[in-house]
Each structure stands twice: as C-alpha cells, then as structure tokens.
Structure 1
C-alpha cells in the first residue's frame, strides 16, 4: 500500500510514502505506550496547558497548513484557512472547559464516600478520512489526549502530509514525544494494532462499510470503538419559512467542502407552499457560485477529491435523469479535472439513487411534500441518521418537530455544524458514540466508581 499526495485540481503528484511494515508500526506503538505511562499521571490541568501553545502554533502557520490541505484534497483555500482556525478554536475551548469536565464527581449513595473518577484507557488508534484532514483528527485527538490517553493517527491514503504536519504541531506545542504520532499503515497492520493489548480503543471516521469492518475488528478483541460514519442529512423547509433565508442556508449546507462532507445537506424536503419561491432562489444562488482553482481566493467550489468521485456522482445523477428527474442548474463538468458544477435537481422520487444513497458532491435533489408529518416521515426514511436541519419562523414548532427526527444532531434555522461544546455523532448507519463536548471527552475514559466505607463499620 502506498500513500500519495496528489493535487486534485491537476493530478500533479507531490509526494509518495510507502506504508510502514508491521515491525515499524509496532515500534511506533511502543513509543506511544511509553508516552502514555507518564502522561496519564499528569492532572487534567497540566495536560491542558499545552493547548494554548497548540492553538498559537496552528494560527502562526495557518497559511502553510491551509495550502497543504488544498494541495492534498482540493478544498478551496478560504475554507482550508477556516478549517485551521476551527482547530485552534477547539484547542481554546477544551483548555477552558475540559479540566472541570474531568474532575471527580461526588455521589450521594449512602456510606461514607462515593465518587466517580474519569481515568484514561491507554493508546487509542484513530483512523481518519481525507475531507477535513486537520479538523477531524483534531476533534478526536484533543479530547483523547486531555483525558490522559495517547494516540496513533492513521490518515487517509491521499492526505499523509497533513497527518505528518499535525503530529509535528503537537510536538512544537510541547506535548511529549510519542504522545500523538502519525501512522502510515496498511489494512493488515491496522488489524494487527487493533488486536494488540496496548491499543485500548479505536476512533474511526469514514464510510459506513469500512466503519462496520473496523467495528467488527474492535468487537472481536473487546475494544471500545467510536464510529462517525456517513450521512444523508435532510434539509426541511416548512411552509412558513423565509424563502431567501432558507435558500441562503441551503447553499451553505449543501456546498461546504464542495459537497464532500458527512454533515452536508443532501436531501431537500420542501412543503408545497414554499417550494416554488425557495427553488427559484436556491437555483439562482447555486448557479452563481464560482468553480475554479482551489488555490484562488475567489474560488467558491473546488474539484472533487478525484476522478472516481466525480464519476460516482455523475452516475447517480444520470440514473435520476433517466427516470424523469430534471436538472434545474448545473449537471455538467465545467472544466478539465474532477470538477462538477453546483447542481439542483427537481422531479425527484425517493427511490432514486441521488435520494437513497449518500451523494458526496455538489448535487441537491428536491422533493415536495404536503404536510409536516410527511416531511418528517421522509426525513426518517433513510438508513442514515447523522444530522438534520429544519427551517421555520415558528421556533417552538421547529423544536417540537426536531424531537421526531431520527438524527444525532438537529439544527433549527441553521445548517448542521459541529461545536466543541455540543455532542456530535449519529444514529442508525451513521455511527456509534459521540465526539466533542464532555460526552466526547468521556468516550475514551474509564468511568470508575469509587466507594469508601469506614473500617469495621
């Protein structure tokens, strides 16, 4: 297996790395276990002291790191800089909040003293995707390390330099050597590491099929696994919504990272009363987006990650059109390379591929319903349950309906997004466990109950 750093916009190869052999990977694991042995003895406050220099290191080289993201996976440079700032803000938030979240909790349960302690598990293997190569690694690593664990970071095959750079950032910020290490491993080595007793848990972000395989490996060895998998988030526009406001949100929700995001809006469910005004405004905004070189400051839509990704969404769209769907804007490859125009599709049925499957690219299928109840039923008629957004002037109604949506996260009058203070994760085939917030911090903790009674009592 080879890790390759290829600029998606041009296909230019920037770097190539051979995967580590098993012996090299086990030596890295040994260093990680050694770092954990001393790191776990530090208090949460001591661990958190490295976060301020970590945030400063990220901000100090934000331009370099953003350019690296764009060169490896094609994200528009403006969005890449925002990704680095989001990572720095995560470090700021956990420095402020995490030490208190890890304090012992006293419990009134009779007896002399009862408390709950939050202790680390050990070395955690993280397997991360390509689409947010800094952010998704950071949102795992910061909580895991603050909880007292060590981490091995296995990146996607096409973003190795981002992982290597991130490991260097932690070292530059003063975190101990070996505490977070990039691991360019192949599938067999990953399986061997999961089986190793020194690895106490696995965090995986990626596709549902690969996640199921990782969960099976972890389960075979009774290891904790947190899985953040695919999504096909509904974007529900109720009859009383402001069409302009909702259309603006729809563009942001669908087009983040050129549509290559697990939490992007992917199924647009419109009440009939609002469908016409919303669609006109949405199509106008999507058609106006600038597709181009992702390194250019004015570019809003970059390439897809590669030619295979572009062909996949072409096939999903072609199947819908062959069955009667109408392309309202876009639907074409506007320039050489894996570029795809922002696309809106009307006349969609719920059994078409662009509705049933996760579409990892800039295609927005629209489906019209007559009642709120029909909208919620359609939103829930999916194998996925990651996020959802709902748009209405009646906030109380939005809150009421949000409780009926089968998803890990629901936003009313906003696009789905992650926040360090709120739990993030899915239900159904979108995953297991939570990241971020206190809930994510505790996923890789031994939540230990300690009870003390008087001697001889």
Structure 2
C-alpha cells in the first residue's frame, strides 16, 4: 500500500499488505479470542473501553497527525475527530450494560420470558478514509463491548490509521486479537465474509462497495449493516434565520473538505429568502481558508486523492456545461497537492451531476423553490436517504416537515451529525441498519428469547 500525502503529492511510505495466509491466521486468532472475550463480564469490557478513551486523549496529537498525513484532514478537525472517538468510548463504557440488559415480556403465571442479547463472534468492518478514526470507533466501541471481536479492513490510503487504531486497543489492555487490522485489498473482502469464522459484516463507503458486501453476506445468510452515500438536502424555509442558516450551511458543506456522506449538498431555498441567503452563503464560503492541513488556522485541506479531485471537477464542469451558474470556486488550485476550493453552483438543472449524483467534495448546489410542498418534493427527489436539515423559526413546522422527508435522520436548525446518543443510518441507496445508541449496539447480537416455566 502506497501512502501518498495529498497535500504534497509525495509518497510518505509503503506498507506491506497481508497475504491470504496472514488473513487465515488472523481469523483463527480472532475465533480463539472470541471464546474468552465473550465470557468476560461486561463491566470489565466497559472498563477496557474507558481505558481506550484515555489512550485516545493522551495521544490525540499523534493520531491526528497520522490522519492529516494520509488523507489531508486539517489538523484541528483531526484532533476533534480523535476527541469524538474518545467520547464514543466514554458513552458505551457508561451505558453498555444498560443497553444490553434483558427485556422482559408478558408471560403466563408461573413463568418468565425475556430477551437476552448474546454476541455473534468475529465481525468484519470495511471502513472508509474520510473519517478514518471515527468510522472505526463507532463500530468498535459498541460491538467489542457487546462481546464480539473486530476485524478491520480499512481503506488502502490510510494504513497508518488502521495500525494506530489497533494499537489503541493494545495500549488500553484489551486481550490480544480482540481487535485486528487486516491490511488487504478489496479483492479479498468477499473471501473473508464467506469464511465460516466471520459471523457478520458492516461497511461504510460507496454504493458499489456496499452492494458487494451485502450481496456476499446475504448469500452466506450473514447479518450486514450498510452506511453508504448521501445527497442531503439543506432546506431553508421562508421564516428561517438566514444568517445562521448560511453560516452553518457553509460549514455543513465544507468541513472535512466536503468529503462527508452527511454533508449538506443540495441547498433548497424558499424564493422569499433566496437572494438574502445566497449572498450570505457565498460570503461565508469565501471566508473559509484553504491551505496547509498542518496549519491550525486551515479550514479546508486537500482532497484525499488527486483522482477523487479530478472526478469532482468533472462533475462541476459537466453541471456548468448543462447550465448551472458558477458563483465561486470551480477550478483546482494552482499549487502542489489535490486542493479544490469551496464551490457554489446556482440554477442547477435537473439531471446534471450536481443535481443527481453525490458530490464528494466542497461543492454546493443551490436551488430557488417557491413553496413548502415543492421544497419537500425536491428534498425527496433523490435515490439517497441519509440525512436532511430544515431551517425554520417555527419548531413545530420543522417537526412536521421532518416527518415528510425520506431520510434516516432530520435535524431542524442544526447540521446533520452522527452522535453516540442517537441512532444513525439511512434508507434507500444510503443503506440499511443503524449505528450508535442502543439500536446500533443491538445490530450484531443474537436477540435470544429465554422462556422459563
């Protein structure tokens, strides 16, 4: 695996991939580790998870710098990501026992019936590069605590992050092989899922990657959870706080270089406030600093890979050619590295790439729409269904419209985010299943009914 620094285009290092024999050995060790780990009292598993949170906080600068080198995340955002990982560890260390407590059911006199939650075994997690620590920890924190063991197949451009995460659990005192990194190509994923020793799989990534994992897991009758792409609507109603919506919208679209499934991507603005919002939105976007990701003042670093930047730019060019108006940005920066500026497209024609495809970078598509029903219809005019945002001063109106939008989560007067306290996931082409909260923790357990007469 070649690690290319996207800010410089230079090769940082080469990492040897694991062989098929290495993978077989890892699966054997994972199976053995599971037999002991599943019987550990959950309080001990919670204590180890709390220790992992401490390790993350103690080494956050080191881990953040690894992210920045490998995928270009601005250092301040990378540090915040490590801190968020520590938070999810704290959350399940505190609430894991309650989330897994047995649920009682009505039963005849003299009997008791309850549902208990038992782990499944080794779980494969196929994870992306855009949040290389957070995506892994929101899988590992709940599912290791429930008694499963983890096998991580991380994106090939962030092997250092994968190795660092494995080291977090080692430093925290986890038993050997409860969490392992598999440095393998995507070509070997099917073989791992098909192995009888692997009991389930989860993937965060592209639609094709999700379909491939779901197909293989389904053929093997194994549980899978998919968190895939998004084209989240950012709806601004006629009674919205325009300045707040523009400020939050600029960040919702451009944090992490715009490389986020839950970024606000399609900005659907009521005619009555369109001009005011657009002016404020352009000002906010143009105020963001693009530059060296190791500089704490940088808001937007490089795109993670040069080829991804090229794909993004092709989407912008095709959208402009179809009639979209380019208001700012729209050209790769003339400097070393894969730098693309924050870009805004207005009057976006139906069916062009900015309208119908996921733009995985700092490109916002803005629409002027003249009534509430049409805003909701446009919000739902997508194959994706991950998240959505509604801006209105009338909270009851926001709550009502949230029920009309087809998405896994809708935030009113707030950007979409994944939070350990609430379930996270999508519908449609955005995948299925849930992560986080109790619902996420129960995805990879056997919900066993125990009837005692």
TM-score, length-normalised on structure 1? Answer: 0.97
Partners of 2:2 and 2:112 in 1: CA distance:
56
SS in 1 for 2:209: helix
Kindly report which structure 2 residues correspond to 1:207-246, keeping only aligned pairs within 5 A, or say none: 207-246=206-245
- Tell me how large the CA RMSD over aligned residues is: 0.9
- Listed one character per residue, the Cα deviations across residues 13-40 of structure 1 (whole Å, up to 9, x for unaligned) are 1221232221110101111111110110
Structure 2 SS opposite 1:384: coil
Counterparts of 2:297 and 2:431, CA distance in 1: 36
* 1:83 paired residue number: 81
Does residue 12 (structure 1) correspond to residue 10 (structure 2)? The answer is: yes
Name the CA distance, whole Å, in 2 between partners of 1:186 and 1:134: 19
User: How far 1:184 sits from its partner (Å)?
Assistant: 0.7
Q: How far apart are the structure 2 equivalents of 1:155 and 1:75?
A: 17
- C-alpha separation in 1, matches of 2:292 and 2:395: 40
CA distance in 2, matches of 1:425, 1:45: 28
- 2:354 maps to 354
* Number of the residue aligned with 1:301: 300
Q: What corresponds to 1:286 in structure 2? A: 285
Distance 1:241 1:39 in 2: 51
The Cα offsets for residues 378-421 of structure 1, whole Å up to 9 and x where unpaired, read as 11110100000000000000000000100001000000001101
**Alpha-carbon distance, 1:48 to partner:** 0.5
Deviates more, 1:431-440 or 1:334-343: 334-343
Q: Which moved more, 1:325-334 or 1:118-127?
A: 325-334
**CA distance 1:317–1:238, change in 2 (3 Å):** same
The whole-number CA distance in structure 1 between the counterparts of 2:291 and 2:436 is: 33
Deviations 1:218-241 (A, max 9, x none): 011111100000011000000000
Residue from 4, 18, 22 that aligns with 1:24: 22
Counterpart in 2 of 1:33?
Answer: 31
Query: Where in structure 2 are there 5+ consecutive unaligned residues?
Result: none
Matched, 1:173 2:172: yes
Give the whole-Å Cα distance in 2 for the aligned partners of 1:421 and 1:158: 30
Q: Distance in 2 between matches of 1:127 and 1:225?
A: 11
1:158 is matched with 157
Matches within 5 A, 1:124-203: 124-203=123-202
Residue 446 in structure 1 maps to residue 446 in structure 2: yes
- Specify the alignment match of 1:48 in structure 2: 46
Is the Cα contact below 8 Å between 1:115 and 1:450 reproduced in 2?
Answer: yes
Secondary structure, aligned partner of 2:95: helix
Distance in 2 separating the partners of 1:225 and 1:127 = 11
CA deviation string 1:304-354 (max 9, x = no partner): 011111111111111111122111111122232211111111111221111
Q: Shift of the alpha carbon at 1:185? A: 1.5
1:399 and 1:43 map into 2 onto residues whose CA distance is: 41
Query: Quick check: 1:385 aligned with 2:389?
Result: no
- Aligned counterpart, 1:118: 117
Q: Which residue of 2 aligns with 1:412?
A: 412
Deviation digits for residues 103-150 of structure 1 (CA, Å, limit 9, x no counterpart): 112211325110110000000000000000000000001111011000
More displaced 10-residue stretch of structure 1: 363-372 or 10-19: 10-19
Q: Deviations over 1:58-107 (max 9, x none)?
A: 01011000000000000000000000000001111111111111111221
Scaled by the length of structure 2, the TM-score of the pair is 0.98
Give the secondary structure class of the aligned counterpart of 2:247.
helix
- Greater CA deviation, 332-341 or 395-404? 332-341
Asked whether 1:253 is paired with 2:252, we answer yes
Q: Displacement, 1:169?
A: 0.5
Question: Given the alignment of the two structures, is residue 65 of structure 1 paired with residue 63 of structure 2, yes or no?
Answer: yes
Structure 1 position 4, deviation (Å): 2.1
- Residue 301 of structure 1 deviates from its aligned partner by 0.8
Partner of 2:429: 429
Deviation at 1:298, TM superposition (A): 1.1
What secondary structure does 1:443 align onto? helix
Matched residue count: 451
Q: Which residue of the partner structure matches residue 376 of structure 1?
A: 376
Once residues 278 and 186 of structure 2 are traced to their aligned partners in structure 1, the CA distance between those partners, rounded to angstroms, is 44
Q: Does structure 1 residue 397 correspond to structure 2 residue 394?
A: no
